[in-house]
Structure 1
Amino acid sequence: MHISDATASTAPRQAAAPYRERLSPSLWMVVSAALAGPMLAVVFAPIGTLPAVAIGLAAALLVVVLLVAGSPVVTVADGELRVGRAHIGLDLLGTPVALEGEEARTARGPGLRRDAWHLLRGGIDGVVRVPVEDDRDPVGEWVFSSRTPERVVAAISLGRRTG
């Protein structure tokens, strides 16, 4: 089927998200979760080998799919920062900071403010720290994990300039 130029120009265009990242579990976490399958197969072994193996494979696959599908997503789009289920307008945010190495470790631990909202994932070293500049918001800053914190900071900064 051919789409004419007139149809293509009047069709609504989706605005591409400047940034999107799934904070999926590390490979070691997925492998560890998949070990639930063989353990469950051992439990069902008295029933029979074939059903036990089938149940074990199904359980391992289900656990891995749930781990990946249930992972939080970081998105910067449409004038909003979304981290997991939480969201905030980019106009309410201050200047974001990308942290890695020792700075990220400090931000995740002793440097984490008590009024900070955070979503931190083990196995993801990078951290983004974004101050909240809304006086009515009891949260002072957002601190969250990212594999590419510099890209998140760039997307937030770009969104704040264009928004």
Structure 2
Amino acid sequence: MYDERLSAPRSWWLLPVLAGLSLALIMLRFGPVPAVVGLVAGVVLGAAALSGYGSARLRVVQGSLVAGDARIPVDALGEAWPLDRAETLAWRTAKADPRAFMLLRSYVPTALRVEVSDPEDPTPYLYLSTRSPERLAAALEAARAEQPRG
């Protein structure tokens, strides 16, 4: 079993406050009450957007890899390669294949690249931002080993 939430860094939580202040300054020309409403609305909407962006999860459960909204059986996956910082950057830019499934979070410095072995699937590989690429690769291998052969 593996479970990781790709939550945004703490420093990013300053962004909703700045959005609220910006909206408050814009609304200030209409009076102090609209400015306060703008402040509250900007902070709440910014926090909701950031929370939604940081709610992506990676899980290995019941013989499947769950990456964000995607659910892929582990028997449809091939070899997994943990990527260091340099390789992570290369695979999200110059080496990237537009057909690949990418669960990308720029604030996560490492990733895992997993080959897709299903011949019916046009996706060549999965690129998964993860803070623990070795642990995720091990969880996928363990889940694959638990699958009944047949």
Place the TM-score, normalised by the shorter chain, in its bin.
0.7 to 0.9
Secondary structure at the aligned position of 2:127 is classed as: strand
Aligned residue type for 2:27 = F
Q: TM-score, normalised by structure 2?
A: 0.85
The gaps in structure 1 that reach 5 residues or longer are 1-17
Secondary structure at the aligned position of 1:59 is classed as: helix
The count of residues paired between Structure 1 and Structure 2 equals 146
Higher alpha-carbon Rg = 1
Q: Among 133, 138, 142, which residue is 1:154 paired with? A: 138
How far apart, in 1, do the equivalents of 2:83 and 2:91 lie? 8
Aligned residue type for 2:102 = H
Name whichever of 50-59 and 63-72 sits farther off: 50-59
Identity, % of aligned pairs? Answer: 32
Name whichever of 26-35 and 148-157 sits farther off: 26-35
Name whichever of 152-161 and 108-117 sits farther off: 108-117
Give RMSD over aligned pairs: 1.9
How far apart, in 1, do the equivalents of 2:21 and 2:99 lie? 43
Superposed displacement of residue 50, structure 1: 4.9
Q: Among 68, 73, 85, which residue is 2:51 paired with? A: 68
Q: Deviations over 1:112-152 (max 9, x none)?
A: 23432212111111111000111111111111211221221
Please tell me whether residue 102 in structure 1 is matched to residue 89 in structure 2. Answer: no
How far apart, in 2, do the equivalents of 1:65 and 1:132 lie? 33
Q: Among 113, 116, 119, which residue is 1:129 paired with? A: 113
- Report the equivalent of 1:80: 64
- Report the equivalent of 1:9: none
